[in-house]
Amino acid sequence: MSPAPVPEEKRSRDPVQRGSDHRVAVIGAGAIARDHATAIAAVPGIRLTHVVDRHPERAAALAALAEGATWSTDPATAWSDGIDVTAVCTSPESHTELSVSALEAGRAVLLEKPAALNVADADRILAAAKTAGRPLLVAQTARFQPAHLEIARAVAEGAIGTPRLAHLTWYTGHVWPGGWRGWQLDPSRSGGHVAHNGVHALDLLTWLMDDEPVRVFARPCRTWASGMPTPDSFQILVRFAGGALATIELCYALVARGTFVRRLMLSGTAGTLHHSSEDEPRAHSASPVAPASIEGAMTEQTRHLRDVLDGVAAPLTAPHHIRAALAAALAAQLSADEGRPVDVKEVC
């Protein structure tokens, strides 16, 4: 497993001498792009300098959040001269062309998940990054949540030996009619709910288990949001190449928006690690508050991006992780659609 990032408080504030900040252009000005802009503003050594969106008013509004940032409706301006990193924050059906173009122009790429809608397109992106010799990071923010970073460090230090069993549960509120944007409900654009959101959990476990998923069985269900054109919850059973097993439960139908319950158990040949947000006092507040164990992930991911650009860290999302997690997510979507176990190689 790739080592977890070193906590900010344990690393030098300026690991290298910088002549100037790394300049980021964001393509797409939706909610996730705004989250990236906020995180960039909180990290020294990197800054948002340009925004691209097909809607001028959205591009201008996001650019206004960063001093001196410009905006455009032309995607090519996101990898023009003066840009160091292109952050692709559009819906997934456009990820491949935008990422490949940015990499071929010599820019590093921060790519929102899922990386692509099929494995062949992901391979195109990975090949472009290898040929260009430029960093490619996929925004798998679950890796950067504090609880998961702590568990990852313990695993890397041998605390549980070889991981053999995992059980991950994420309950989130909520998915209701009108609560999701249209592209998320269109499988031709998002890949489907199981693939689009399940990739976070599958990536996290692929990383922690340091193994490749080879067979999955996904079961979707509708709970409170029965009027939605997509299941609001699902379970995925995963078998890894080395024989390890994992159970994933994801639910987006808790009644109150902003409510979270997160649990992770990881057991190996020498011990067990576990975490539950229910043990955190903040998780029991009167109004929904995100548990401390998931706060700050986007900012930590941005620090990691800066460190990669500074040359003091390798991208945590290694190419084989990107491909394996995406393939498993696509296989899980196929399993949910067809109601049968699926070998991951079927989608590769």
**For 153-173, how does the pLDDT look when each residue is reduced to its tens digit (9 = 90+)?**
999 999 999 999 999 999 987
Task: Tell me the average pLDDT across 200-218.
Answer: 97
One DSSP character per residue, 266-327 reads EEESS-EEEEEGGGSGGGG-SS----GGGTTHHHHHHHHHHHHHHTSS--SS-HHHHHHHHH
Mean pLDDT, residues 118-143 taken together:
98
Residue 178 has pLDDT above 60, yes or no: no
DSSP string, 185-208: G-HHHH--HHHHHHHHHHHHHHHH
Average pLDDT over residues 244-259: 87
Confidence of residue 8 (pLDDT cuts 50, 70, 90): low
pLDDT tens digits for 49-70? 999 999 999 999 999 999 999 9
139-145: average pLDDT: 96
Provide the whole-model pTM: 0.93
Average pLDDT over residues 3-30: 70
Is there a contact between 172 and 251 (Cβ–Cβ < 8 Å)?
Answer: yes
Average pLDDT over residues 226-250: 91
Place of tokens 């949540």: 145
* Average per-residue pLDDT for the chain: 91
* Pairing mode, strands 108-112 and 85-88: parallel
Distance CA 229, CA 213 (A): 28
The pLDDT assigned to 13 comes to 41
Question: Average pLDDT in the 299-304 region?
Answer: 98
Ranges 15-19, 105-109, 242-246, 335-339: which has the least confidence:
15-19
Q: Are 78 and 99 in contact (CB under 8 A)?
A: no
As a whole-number percent, the residues of the chain with pLDDT over 70 amount to 89
Q: How confident is the model at residue 12 (pLDDT cuts 50, 70, 90)?
A: very low
Q: Rounded CA gap, 283 and 321, in Å? A: 31
Task: Work out the pLDDT band at 16, boundaries 50, 70, 90.
Answer: very low
In terms of C-beta distances under 8 Å and separation of at least 24 residues, what long-range contacts does 6-13 make, across chains too?
7/149, 8/300, 8/303, 13/44
Give residue 344's pLDDT: 98
Q: State residue 254's pLDDT score.
A: 80
Over range 104-128, report the average pLDDT.
98
* Per-residue model confidence (pLDDT) at position 226: 65
Buried b / exposed e along 171-180 (16+ C-beta atoms within 10 A): bbbbbbeeeb
Model confidence at 7, pLDDT cuts 50, 70, 90, reads low
Token digits of residue 173: 């509120």
Confidence of residue 15 (pLDDT cuts 50, 70, 90): very low
Question: What is residue 17's predicted lDDT score, i.e. its pLDDT?
Answer: 47
Residues with Cβ within 8 Å of residue 178, at least 6 apart in sequence: none
Higher pLDDT, 22 or 9: 22
Q: Which of 134-143, 157-166, 252-261, 280-289 has the lowest mean pLDDT?
A: 280-289
Q: What is the mean pLDDT of residues 335-341?
A: 97
pLDDT for residue 181: 64
How far is 62 from 34, CA to CA, in rounded Å?
7
Mean predicted confidence (pLDDT) in 12-22: 59
Distance in angstroms (rounded) separating the CA atoms of residues 5 and 21: 21
